Structure 1
Amino acid sequence: MGTTWHVTYLPGPQTAPPEQVQASLEGLLVSVNDSMSTWQVDSEISRFNRGVVGSWVPVSGHFARVMAEALRIGERSGGAYDVTVGPLVELWGFGPVQPRMELPQTSAIDAARNRVGQQFIEFDGELQRLRRLRKVELDLSSIAKGYAVDVLANALSEQGIDSFLVEVGGEMRVAGSSPRGDAWRIAVERPEPGARAVALGIALEDIAVATSGDYRNYFELEGRRYSHSIDPRTGYPVAHDLVSVTVLADDCMTADGWATALTVLGADEALALAEAEGLAVYLMRRDGERIVPLYSSAFAPWLEQSTPTQ
């Protein structure tokens, strides 16, 4: 996935040696990568994207589970989340190409938008297959890291490991107690370009957390900043004041996907949708030089034992 991964766990009396645990987890990561990496020409997703439009393609259990959740979040977010947004991401210079030195033409944006839309993907969950109704391409990078976290977390549980922290590319899931014997302390980063600072420390047990923001990956042109978060409904980078979204959920795949969707929506719409969906969400919006926090009612219980540093 072009990123790093990290696991901390407390072994039980019957836990295998660390080298064996690591090898088993690495094997699972390889299987997820082989399924959903757009950087591998022979991966399952790459083969699907090269396939014939209109033809049904059988998919693996990994792929089917992620597609079902991705399409659900896309529908519930009103199209703010869309796993076919890749052509727009590449057009704006946030794909595997050099950053843009000029803005794309309107005609190019319109052409790319014609290749975007999850409504052109038909998914048959019962038979575990899907097909394209138009020449769109899938990119699951906005949710696959979260799914990989879940795969590793479930594997640790199956090995009798009850206390762990699993992290892939910044998305994570915790269970049980930390090595200190208390809850895991997770930092929510303050959205400052070029700096590393903590906005909030949260005590977590048996839950997943994912964060999305526009303060790390962007470019500036003629005095204006262009975020890597592209709104698939308009074809343009988001231009609102929402700079960071943190989502808590039972599984990391769901947290990961929703963090991306809410980032696209902007603070007011994101908070309203979080309330409607019962999501535990912590938002940060920029007001001039200030960072203003907002949170959903489902997130409030975690603030009672949090450590604010703003």
Structure 2
Amino acid sequence: MLTWRRYGLLVLIGTLSACGNGDSLESFGGPTMGSTYSVKYVRHAGLPAPADVQVEVEKILAEVDRHLSTYRSDSDIAQFNALPANHCRVMPASVLQLVRVGEQLSMQSAGAFDLTVEPLLNLWGFGPQAREEKIPTAQALAEVRQHVGHDHLRIDGEQLCKDAAVEVDFNSIAAGYALDTIAAKLTAMGIHDYLAEATGELKAAGRKLDGTAWRIAVEEPRDDQQVAERIIAIDGYGLSTSGDYRNYFVQGGQRFSHTLDARTGLPVSHNLASVTVIHPSALMADGLSTLLLILGPEQGWDYAEKHDIGAFFVMRADTGFVTRSSHAFERLSGRKTE
């Protein structure tokens, strides 16, 4: 049994040997978005070779990086972010699509989720232009918050406009968008049995080489050992885990997470350690896992139940971790607990 560890998820791969009918499980991967990606697919007779599939997948990843990356100054979104207030710029369709998704998630969370928090991330030491991890002064926080808010963005035809010097950060949804695009390309190439991963987000469809489903272990949010909280099978769904346990700093005995609530400009301070979301769209799974993590164990649970979202919550407790899953998660995961 091979295992493949990513952020909060453990992929149970199974056998990689070829079947007697000539089918084989192919795989490839590489760096992307400051992390890695990987694609595994069952190659039946007549399907393209891994090298040809990899070329198409990496074209998609290169385009996503060129349009959405805040870590390169020549990307479309970086150039938009550099504009002063009351300016517009023609943007690719992918950028406009994700801005609309961000607006939807912002409105549904009463502003807790917001794509324009990059200045706050930088201020707290977590963003691409961060200087150091530290608690900002009240004055600095108030000044930066004037340049945060999805309501400062407006789409005008093919243009994205801003009425304040806001900066957009797609890190909470870019990987999910990339996976949906990759999944569509694989399907167009005749590949229907695959598992694709990018920066820890997953999307799978079909079956493995041995005919069984792709199985994913949702792990406890800890670094000292691998402990599976839940094992589920996915077919036609995206899976995303957001957590506050890998990127944080401690000052004055207090822990400060990189997950920020846009309504306050402060790191979240509840006991929700991670959220895993299963959704037909990897993009929505990606964004919703972040949204629910920001909202916390009570508000997040209520949101998931109200919107019929498949979500698995892991909370810190005095004795370790406790879990809670939404009704939609139980239904979509098929209660795979082996």
TM-score interval, normalised by the smaller of the two chains: over 0.9
Report the counterpart of residue 172 of structure 1 in structure 2: 202
Task: Answer yes or no: is 1:294 the counterpart of 2:335.
Answer: no
Partner Cα distance (2:116, 2:158) in 1: 19
- Please tell me the root mean square deviation across aligned C-alpha atoms, in Å: 1.4
Displacement of 1:197: 2.7
Work out whether 1:110 is the aligned partner of 2:124: no
Deviation of the 1:12 alpha carbon: 2.9
Q: Distance in 1 between matches of 2:165 and 2:319?
A: 43
1:22 maps to amino acid: Q
- Return the alpha-carbon distance in structure 1 between the equivalents of residues 310 and 123 of structure 2: 33
Pairing partner for 1:229 from 259, 265, 273:
259
Contact 1:191 1:213 (8 Å CA) reproduced: yes
TM-score under structure 1 normalisation?
0.94
Instruction: Show structure 1 runs of 5+ residues with no match.
Output: none
Question: Kindly, what percent of the aligned residue pairs are identical?
Answer: 36
Could you tell me how far apart the structure 1 residues matched to 2:270 and 2:66 are? 36
* Match for residue 299 of structure 2 among 269, 272, 275: 269
Q: Deviations over 1:125-176 (max 9, x none)?
A: xx23210010110011110011011111111000000000010011011011
1:41 to 53, 69, 73: 73
Aligned to 1:56: 88
Q: Is the 8 A contact 1:147 1:253 kept in 2?
A: yes
Distance 1:120 1:98 in 2: 26
Could you tell me whether the CA contact under 8 Å between 1:202 and 1:302 is conserved in 2? Answer: no
Conserved in 2, the CA contact under 8 Å of 1:37 and 1:45? yes
Picking from 248, 266, 270, the partner of 2:278 is 248
Unpaired runs of at least 5, structure 2: 1-32
Q: After superposition, where does 1:1-310 map in structure 2 within 5 Å?
A: 1-96=33-128, 97-100=130-133, 102-124=134-156, 127-302=157-332, 304-307=334-337
Equivalent residues, number: 305
| 1:98 CA displacement | 4.9
Question: Per residue, is there more strand in 1 or in 2?
Answer: 2
- Separation of aligned partners in 2, 1:210 and 1:303: 13
Deviations 1:210-245 (A, max 9, x none): 110111111111221111101111111000011110
Please list the CA deviations of residues 70-106 of structure 1 after superposition, one character each: whole Å capped at 9, or x if unmatched: 1111111111110000111111111233542x42111
Per the alignment, in what secondary structure is the counterpart of residue 202 of structure 1?
Answer: strand
TM-score between both structures, scaled by the size of structure 2: 0.87
Paired AA for residue 113 in structure 1: R
Post-superposition, which runs of at least 4 consecutive aligned residues in structure 1 deviate over 6 A? none
